[in-house]
Amino acid sequence: MRPWVSLSLLVILAACGDDGSASLDAGRGDAGLGEAGLGDGSVADATTGRDAGPRDVDAGPPPEDLDGFVEWQMARGGLPGLATALIVDGEVVHEGLYGYADVEAGRAVDAHTLFAVASVSKLFTGIVALRAWEEGRLDLDADVGETLGFALRHPDHPTAPITARMLLTHTSGLRDNWPMLGQTTYEGDPEIDLETFTRGYALEGGEWFAGPNWGAAPGTAHDYCNGAFAVAAHLSEAAWGEGFRAASERLAFEPLGFEDTGWWLADVDAGKLAVPYTWNAARGSFVPLEQTTPAHYPAGGLRASLHDLERWARAMLRGGELDGVRVLEAETVEAMRTLQVPDLSTRQGLVMRYEGIGGHGYVGHSGAGIGGSANVLLRSDADAALIVLSNGDAYIRARLGFTEGRDAMDAILERLDTELEAELEAALTTEP
């Protein structure tokens, strides 16, 4: 393995908005450049790749049936594979599996395909941290140095304490400095642990420290930051006295009944991995990308399946419990869905973030990575959820001005929102 960094990364970053989402679309697709990793065949130089066959789409409107509509949009947007789910009253009422996890091998997407879900990862980093809070091991509003065992301070504001709540709401003052984060993104799995990353990135004199790693004074601005979630994960390690991957398995994956999900390639079944792709529209071909993992993987390195994310959504809709096993207290789930810094951000809950689709409010997380685009969202006003996962880089390509993939994802999300609304209305009419 070797550290990976590319000029492509810097080009994409120039297109990112100040909250980590695309300047072209400040809604979905929370940033995580380097979350899924840029391979040598990334979008900036994607000139090779397997011809996936004709991608022509009829000039007329898309088919009316849901499956036909989704497949039409996938062809229009250059999406190799897609997995979707709708959940109402705690039950999966629709599951859609489309296209290929591996185009070259002809391996179809199934419910256990592992997608690179980018910033959706933060939902599970949140579980590990918030379980520590529930058990009194971590004070969300205390100086994190009390738990870390070393001082974490903004170099320009050394008297201002930094708290776990700040790290989990993107208000700590830490910023994503992508040339530095690129140096700690690896082909395969990371070669450094979270403490090494935290000290090297956040502390003056660290190997990956630079002035742009820090921005506004702690607690004064919302600045979407992946690096901060890696620090929060190391804080959780200190609180639990246990490695983050092991704590995730014990506190989140196992109690939720996950069958597939893991942080590192070493943690998952390689035969279930979706190949990450970019789409070369000029050649009409998919370009496979490297499987990479950043050292800040708690912010965006998770590989997760539709099956497992359905179980997460069902648990959150039930106030943190599923099949008689409680993962989070109901009050904690409610805090995650509550705006934490309304003067600084009208979207930011505790870990979770608000989105708008089809005129309805959702809360959860989206993810944008090279070779992965994801949305895992709970309806804010109903017992319902919506999930869309792809192994294409739709949101990242949009940051470079190639919007067909993002437009297709948005159209699919809006159609699924319509289907979800119909399911909710049907459920109301059948209630006794």
Q: Which domain holds residue 412?
A: 3-430
pLDDT at 303 over 90: yes
The contacts of residue 207 (CB under 8 Å, 6+ apart) are: 200
Alpha-carbon dihedral sign for residues 212, 215, 218, 223: negative
Partner residues linked to 326 by β-bridges: 321
Query: What pLDDT, on a 0 to 100 scale, did the predictor assign at position 34?
Result: 36
**Rounded distance between C-alpha atoms, residue 301 and residue 372, angstroms:** 11
**Rounded distance between C-alpha atoms, residue 296 and residue 185, angstroms:** 8
Amino acid at 175: R
Question: HSE of 406 in the Cβ direction (CA atoms, 13 Å)?
Answer: 23
For the chain, first and last CA: distance in Å? 59
The single-letter DSSP state of residue 209 is -
pLDDT in tens, 133-186: 999 999 999 999 999 999 999 999 999 999 999 999 999 999 999 999 999 999
CATH number, domain of 57, equals: 3.40.710.10
SS3 114: strand
Comparison of pLDDT for 6 and 266, the residue scoring more? 266
Specify whether the CB–CB gap between 121 and 296 falls below 8 A.
no
CA 52 to mean position of chain CA atoms: 27
The contacts of residue 98 (CB under 8 Å, 6+ apart) are: 67, 70, 71, 74, 81, 82, 83, 84, 109
pLDDT in tens, 12-69: 433 333 333 332 233 455 544 333 332 222 333 333 344 444 345 555 789 999 999 9
Specify whether the CB–CB gap between 47 and 286 falls below 8 A.
no
pLDDT at 301 over 60: yes
Kindly report the backbone phi and psi dihedral angles of residue 121, in degrees, each rounded to the nearest multiple of 5, phi listed first.
Answer: -50, -35
Give the percent of the chain with pLDDT over 90. Answer: 84
Closest residue by Cα to residue 147 from 162, 168, 169: 162
pTM exceeding the 0.85 threshold for the entire prediction? yes
pLDDT at 268 over 60: yes
Burial class of residue 178, CB neighbours in 10 A (0-12, 13-18, 19+): buried
Query: What pLDDT, on a 0 to 100 scale, did the predictor assign at position 429?
Result: 83
Beta carbons within 10 angstroms of residue 266's beta carbon = 11
Domain total in the chain: 1
And the tokens for 294? 């950043």
Beta carbons within 10 angstroms of residue 305's beta carbon = 24
